[in-house]
Amino acid sequence: MPKAPARLGFAGSPEIARAVLDLLCASGWRPELVLTQPDRPAGRGRRLRAGPVKQLAQQHGIEVLQPERLGAPPDELRLMDLLLVAAYGQILPEAVLSAPRLGCINLHFSLLPAWRGAAPIERAIWAGDTRTGLSLMQMDAGLDTGPVLAQLVCDIAPDATAESLRSLMVNSIQDWLPEQLDLLLQGRLTPQPQDEARASYAGKIAPSERDINWHDAALRVDRQVRALYPNARTRLPSGQWLKVLKVSVLRDAEGGQPGEILSADAGDLRIACGTGAVHLLRVQRAGGRPCSGEDWLRGSAGEAPQGEFLGAA
């Protein structure tokens, strides 16, 4: 395997960070050091399980550090020329930011200063943005506030989910990210300060935000379902949870109160919203498999009768 142009460290934790690490290893930028979150209990037995970044790093024989909380920089980090951060899950203290020779840079999944924070992809879809992108930024002590080194624009398709947009964005940087790292080493990237007046924030998705608010307009319900895929949900009249995986917007639908089941005929599960209505195309009952709204109605034994309401506590 060819040697990377610099001694690179990488910090990341979730699946999207694993995809970035995979890209680096495949493009001649294999890191010498990986920082990731500690193993967490998972599965029915609640046994400790390594995260996706650690698993991939071990496959490539890369040294892995898993501090519960970064304070003083690890000695190994001081040997690096550069630390690339992608969805690590911790704010890095200034001592860590200054440890590598060239500092730390962050690959953030938005066009900064828009959507600083933990959930930029989800928030962009939910807000109805038509484009987003990636920003490579020099990290400072703030939350995604450092000067921007480079950006890449991506369009958001009208039917994009958080999952599909993540895949699109990772695929779009296969050549772009290695090129930017090369330019950075050559001193050819000029840091540009962010415009604070244009900043917006992408807070972590709270558990309560998974619950569909049927008082919202149908267009916003659709955006919520796509932004949180596959985790948006609503309560059935029985009190059981139903995941809502895909809807279509019925702009001209009239009548009904928010959350009211307008139709529960085979193949036509329609729910009134604050404005308009949605057709539930794909759903998942707790403990069940994803299925079409039509198939779910067929086997639901009348759990969603016309005239009843979804979303009641």
Average pLDDT over all residues of the chain:
94
More confident residue, 243 or 264: 243
Name which of 177, 162, 151 is nearest 129 in CA terms. Answer: 162
Asked if the bond preceding 113 is cis, omega within 30° of 0, the reply is yes
Fold category of 207-299 in CATH: Methionyl-tRNA Fmet Formyltransferase; Chain A, domain 2 (3.10.25)
**Region 264-268 average pLDDT:** 78
Q: How far is CA 33 from the centre of its chain?
A: 24
Q: Which of 97-101, 181-185, 275-279, 299-303 has the lowest mean pLDDT?
A: 299-303
Tell me the domain boundaries of the chain. Answer: 8-198, 207-299
Q: Is the pLDDT of residue 138 over 80?
A: yes
CA nearest 107: which of 7, 176, 167, 208? 176
Q: Which two tokens stand for residue 214?
A: 């049927």
Q: Which pLDDT score is estimated for 301?
A: 66
User: Would 8-198 and 207-299 be classified into the same CATH topology?
Assistant: no
Q: Does residue 313 have a pLDDT over 70? A: no
Instruction: Kindly report whether the peptide bond that precedes residue 230 is cis, defined as omega within 30 degrees of 0.
Output: yes
Above 50 in pLDDT, residue 102? yes
**Domain 8-198, classified CATH 3.40.50.300, yes or no:** no
